[in-house]
Amino acid sequence: MTAPPAPHPLLTAPVAATLARLAAPNLIGMLATTAVAIAETAYIGALGAEPLAAAALVLPLIMLMGMMSGGAMGGGVSSAISRAIGAGDIAYAETLARHGAVIAVCGGLAFTLALTLFGGPIFHLLGGRGETLSLAITYAGVVFAVAVAFWLVNIMASVMRAAGDMGRPSVVMIAGAALQVVVGGSLCFGWGPAPQLGLMGVALGQALTSLLSMVAFYLLLSSPRAKVRLRVIGPLRREAFADILRVGAPAMLSPLQTVGAILILTAIAARFGTEVLAGYGIGSRLEFLLVPIAFSVGVAALPMVGMAIGAGDVARARRVAWTAGAMGGAGLGALGLLLALFPGLWVSVFTRDPGVAAAAETYLRFAGPAFVFFGLNLSLYFASQGAGKIGGPLLAGTLRLIVIALGGWFLVSTGAPDWSLFALVAAGMVTAGAATVAFVAMTPWGPKAR
């Protein structure tokens, strides 16, 4: 009689230690990506005001594509595959990987088509004019020409993470980050034998990195050693698409909520004057740099939760989710509290202007203590994707957007003092974090474990 296969290690390993072990390579990879963004900003800033403004117009769309392909649809792919692995069905997990790749191709083509047809009007609506508008259109044309590769990179990384392989995706991310910094700088400034292409050089560095990273991920996933192989030849099944889109499609709302909140807060900050707007920009930049911490924990929790749900161990899935929430909240909360007490540690890096510094320090004093809710929200969001129960965190994001929209209207209509804007930022974080905790606690994740 053949012995049953051993359970996947993520179904039995200690929760907290395993989360920390899986989160570490993700964090390193995300920090490498953040370093690339800083380096490219420095490159473009050296070119002058117009290239910097053009890149600023394109950046929100690049971020939106990243959040949709990596966090939203990538989470849907990881969720479905990890649940299949937990149920012991590797063949179906590989079927899901193929369907995820098809979705990635469609998503990438949609971005390429949209920016090709409507890039000009979009950047004009965002304020682009003259040479700035022309540079933005050309820059976006290069970057979004390879949107399919960008999507495939994020989806294939999600396939590997779903099987508990966090190390190799991070290695590809780090190598890609190093390549992008070198190639982008070389083509921007004409280092060595490279031509001097300015802003287009930076765009070509991004495009080349996406293409080479796509090839690297495909080679890893097509190898016989892959835990879940990507087999591009095979039938397509409606139920496989449904399993991915059941989580991935609703999760696409989350990036739109994030972008909407940023736009509202930025518009309100502008009404308080240049110093407050600049101070808000300095403070909000910290949020983006803190996201990798919570993202790393959340992405580590996602396959652990998904496998436990697939195996019918709902109690373990819950334990993983709450542990991830505590780790993400504690990590961001500690940093937020430190900067609330000593805001100069952050603010002095970006400005010497007394008015701007005062506004940024006020931001940190209000928002810093609320970062614990920011970490809770993000970590539990990814854990909920693993369970296939994304409705609660999405509703929490909607409540945050409502709080910010209504609160912003009240502040503007009543002529409230500028510090009230930063209190509103904190209120939005608290609302999203507390509501996510409540919804996750109330939402049933499946039948009771036997």
C-alpha distances out from residue 414 to 40, 99, 367, 418, 420, Å: 41, 52, 22, 12, 11
Q: Across residues 238-245, what is the average pLDDT?
A: 95
pLDDT in the model for residue 407: 94
Residue 448: its pLDDT value, please?
Answer: 44
The 10s digit of each residue's pLDDT in 47-106 is 887 888 888 788 878 888 988 998 899 999 999 999 999 999 999 999 999 999 999 999
Q: What is the pLDDT of residue 4?
A: 52
Global pTM?
0.86
Question: Span 190-216, mean pLDDT?
Answer: 94
pLDDT at site 264: 84
Tens-digit pLDDT profile for residues 143-176: 999 999 999 999 999 999 999 899 999 999 999 9
Mean residue pLDDT across the chain? 89
The sign of the torsion formed by the CA atoms of 435, 17, 86, 216 equals positive
Q: What is the mean pLDDT of residues 119-132?
A: 83
pLDDT at 41: 78
Indicate if the pLDDT at residue 255 is higher than 60. Answer: yes
Residue 233 has pLDDT above 60, yes or no: yes
| Nearest of 307, 334, 293 to residue 10 by alpha carbon | 307
What is the reported pLDDT for 447? 53
Tell me, what's the pLDDT at 1? 44
Name the band, by pLDDT with cuts 50, 70 and 90, for residue 450: very low
Query: What is the per-residue pLDDT across 271-283, written as a single tens digit (0 to 9) for each?
Result: 888 788 888 877 7
Amino acid 274: pLDDT: 78
Mean pLDDT (whole number) for 401-405: 94
Write out the two tokens for 433: 């974090």
Taking the C-alpha atoms of residue 281 and residue 360, their distance in angstroms, rounded to an integer, is 8
Averaged over 368-389, what is the pLDDT? 93
SS3 assignment for the chain: CCCCCCCCHHHCCCHHHHHHHHHHHHHHHHHHHHHHHHHHHHHHHHHCHHHHHHHHHHHHHHHHHHHHHHHHHHHHHHHHHHHHHHCCCHHHHHHHHHHHHHHHHHHHHHHHHHHHHHHHHHHHHCCCCHHHHHHHHHHHHHHHHCHHHHHHHHHHHHHHHHCCCCHHHHHHHHHHHHHHHHHHHHHHHCCCCCCCCCHHHHHHHHHHHHHHHHHHHHHHHHCCCCCCCCCCCCCCCHHHHHHHHHHHHHHCHHHHHHHHHHHHHHHHHHHCCHHHHHHHHHHHHHHHHHHHHHHHHHHHHHHHHHHHHHCCCHHHHHHHHHHHHHHHHHHHHHHHHHHHHCCHHHHCCCCCCHHHHHHHHHHHHHHHHHHHHHHHHHHHHHHHHHHCCCHHHHHHHHHHHHHHHHHHHHHHHHCCCCHHHHHHHHHHHHHHHHHHHHHHHHCCCCCCCC
Residue 291 confidence (pLDDT) above 90? no
Q: In this predicted structure, what is the pLDDT of residue 230?
A: 95
pLDDT of residue 99: 97
Q: What percent of the chain has pLDDT over 70?
A: 98
Average pLDDT over residues 238-254: 94
Average pLDDT of span 288-295: 78
pLDDT at 5: 57
- Looking at per-residue confidence, does 449 or 286 come out higher? 286
pLDDT score at 48: 82
Q: Is the pLDDT of residue 369 over 50?
A: yes
Assign 449 a pLDDT band (cuts: 50, 70, 90).
very low
How large is the average pLDDT for residues 21-50? 85
pLDDT at 364 over 60: yes
Give the whole-number percent of the chain exceeding pLDDT 90.
Answer: 62
- The pLDDT of residue 370 is above 80: yes
Of residues 73 and 287, more confidence is placed in 73
